[in-house]
Structure 1
């Protein structure tokens, strides 16, 4: 019986770590979150003095010591996650487990940094000892562990509940209301990649750097077309079609193909007709998605011809 309980607990933990988690570390958001972390950490250290303080060793006031011990770590975290955002596509598959692992890496770097600046802060002949090295890392992980254990699960459950409730209000629609010509010439960066796209055949488009991967409906499984055009450039060319919406910085979706909307901690998760991949809707784009889906569901049906011409 105990073995079954242990296996169930392990599976639950693994499932939790594999759950989608909001990727906060975009260029527009990072500085806001790290400013908040700096203010919380500074206030906590300055007011409560959580660790032993020997003021006789201080080379500066305790206020500035707290400032250095919170500003530099916040800056390290900001730089780390900004580089992660810039050089990777982690936002596509960010999970609770990713959040834990990368925070632990940042905490280790911060612990080493706190050790390296001891000579600036403390007048102590043993600043460069192994004892203080491990003490600084230990103290950093103690503070960081409180943040991880408290904030991540609480935020995860809050976002999950909120987005689940919001997703239940979304009305999926098969409406193809469009009184314009449904065929659009897509102008790519390379002339050979230009093609005529019929919007009713389009399921979704996924960003791949300077390329875009088109998922086109077919009789069996979706056809994939890789074209040299960025998602931003493509979005600008499709602004006249209300059924085409950016749901995530890595996705454009034909809203007429949405068959199910589910909430998760990162926002929404869409099931599209004929596509096995779950497509995300970012938290910041949920209001626009809800509004557009409502608009389409209230629009009259119009008949269109399906075709895709390369």
Structure 2
């Protein structure tokens, strides 16, 4: 079970993430009619259910946005897991219970606050917990399958392109100017043949440059921003596949996928390089035009 909760999972917060709790809230008030709500007419129930549901929806949007600002690292999409998804669902569920209980207490002041919250909690958990678990497992399976198919397809394109590049004669290989990688002050820290530059990783105000020298991979830390270096590299060979990574397409040997994202395996590198969801659609076109 612990291994399952540690699995990568896509961070999905869209209209359905708000709509489903809103529908559940409306269902509890209008259909189940907790406490004295069954004594009121249909019109009152519909108005009350709509008001509480809208309030719940706004609370969910506000709380998730707040969590993203307060805990940006914990909420980062490239580090999202099944466990975090489950905890976020529980957080939303508890928020739903609190907002619904407080609103119901205002609308129905005759009810006992403790009893109302207890019953609201029991009803909400009973209705929601199994759909939540089923939803997480379904999303895990669906995205895992989808990413595996995409990775397999892209790997085929990659192998075909690698075969094409290896078949080139020496006079067909373009002579590329050396890559100059400067520091923040403009001083040249590295002068490399483009084929020797494997990938670059952002590390705050610094970049980690991974390059080969005599078939050995080396790393150099340089004070500069990744976006400044990206402007110096030819886009036909180098791809900004993630906010924190630039890779040399000629060093990609395999494309893998999990439920959260695609990953690139590079020749001679043990670390896999993530591909952000925004950049994933660009991979196929990049491989086709790679030189």
TM-score class, shorter-chain normalisation, is 0.7 to 0.9
Aligned pair in 2 of structure 1 residues 154, 226: CA closer, same or farther (>3 Å)?
A: same
From 279, 282, 288, the equivalent of 1:288 is 282
Tell me how far apart the structure 2 counterparts of residues 149 and 289 of structure 1 sit (CA, whole Å): 33
From 138, 141, 150, the equivalent of 2:134 is 150
Matched-pair contact (CA < 8 Å) for 2:242–2:279: yes
Q: Secondary structure at the match of 1:61?
A: helix
Matched-pair contact (CA < 8 Å) for 1:92–1:250: no
C-alpha RMSD of matched pairs (Å): 3.2
Tell me how far apart the structure 2 counterparts of residues 74 and 151 of structure 1 sit (CA, whole Å): 19
Match of 1:37 in 2: 17
Range that drifts further, 163-172 or 191-200: 191-200
Match of 1:279 in 2: 273
Matched-pair contact (CA < 8 Å) for 1:108–1:141: no
Tell me how far apart the structure 2 counterparts of residues 206 and 232 of structure 1 sit (CA, whole Å): 11
Match of 2:153 in 1: 169
Cα offsets for 1:36-61 (capped at 9, x unmatched): 32233323433564644332598973
Measure how far apart 1:274 and its partner are: 0.7
Tell me how far apart the structure 1 counterparts of residues 207 and 235 of structure 2 sit (CA, whole Å): 18
Cα offsets for 1:174-229 (capped at 9, x unmatched): 44887363422234434457433432122222222332222222457532222222
Unaligned runs of 5+ in 1: 1-12, 25-29, 300-310
Tell me how far apart the structure 2 counterparts of residues 89 and 40 of structure 1 sit (CA, whole Å): 21
Is residue 78 of structure 1 aligned with residue 72 of structure 2?
A: no
Aligned pair in 2 of structure 1 residues 145, 213: CA closer, same or farther (>3 Å)?
A: farther
Q: TM-score under structure 1 normalisation?
A: 0.73
Tell me how far apart the structure 2 counterparts of residues 95 and 291 of structure 1 sit (CA, whole Å): 29
Matched-pair contact (CA < 8 Å) for 1:80–1:106: no
Q: Matched residue pairs, number?
A: 273
Tell me how far apart the structure 2 counterparts of residues 186 and 286 of structure 1 sit (CA, whole Å): 26
Aligned pair in 2 of structure 1 residues 38, 192: CA closer, same or farther (>3 Å)?
A: same
Tell me how far apart the structure 1 counterparts of residues 191 and 75 of structure 2 sit (CA, whole Å): 29
Unaligned runs of 5+ in 2: 167-171
Tell me how far apart the structure 2 counterparts of residues 97 and 74 of structure 1 sit (CA, whole Å): 20
From 242, 246, 259, the equivalent of 1:265 is 259
Tell me how far apart the structure 2 counterparts of residues 63 and 137 of structure 1 sit (CA, whole Å): 19
Cα offsets for 1:12-53 (capped at 9, x unmatched): x344333222234xxxxx5xx1x3322333234335646443
